[in-house]
Amino acid sequence: MVHDAMVRINPGTQSIGTMAGAGIGGIAAAGAAQGSGQFGQLLAGAVGALVGGTVGNAVQQQVTGPAQQVTVELPDRQLITVVEQGPMLHLGERVGISYSPSGRARVFPM
């Protein structure tokens, strides 16, 4: 690792977690209330959306907050920069890099 800086991950102005949770919760609850009549499904969908939105918002808040931006020099001297919320890394420390199937890099201490 050749450079680091403390940064803050902000949730932004969109409440994607809340909206996604509400949608999923509403659909799941209405589906589970199948056979309880139209009013029962509407009521279950509304309650499911409320609960799902609350859970979605809580999940979104977990991925916000302080983080560390690290720059790593690869063996071919190419540099990559990654923002991590995991354990603190230190300048000069050897790190490993893993890549998700979508190409997102994660840095971890070795």
| Segments making up each domain of the chain, as ranges | 3-9+64-109, 16-62
Instruction: Tell whether the model's pLDDT for residue 95 goes beyond 80.
Output: yes
Segment 4-16 shows an average pLDDT of 67
User: 82 or 57, which is more confident?
Assistant: 82
- 72, 95 contact by CB (below 8 A): yes
Mention every residue, 6+ apart, whose C-beta is less than 8 A from residue 96. 107, 108, 109, 110
pLDDT of residue 68: 86
The three state secondary structure string of 6-42 is EEEECCCCCCHHHHHHHHHHHHHHHHHCCCCHHHHHH
pLDDT of residue 18: 57
Identify the weakest region by mean pLDDT among 19-28, 45-54, 66-75: 19-28
Instruction: Tell whether the model's pLDDT for residue 80 goes beyond 80.
Output: yes
| C-alpha 16, offset from chain centre | 10
User: 89 or 34, which is more confident?
Assistant: 89
- The listed range with the strongest mean pLDDT (28-37, 63-72, 90-99) is 90-99
pLDDT of residue 58: 60
| C-alpha 79, offset from chain centre | 25
Segment 58-87 shows an average pLDDT of 78
- 108, 72 contact by CB (below 8 A): no
Percentage of residues of the chain with pLDDT beyond 70: 49
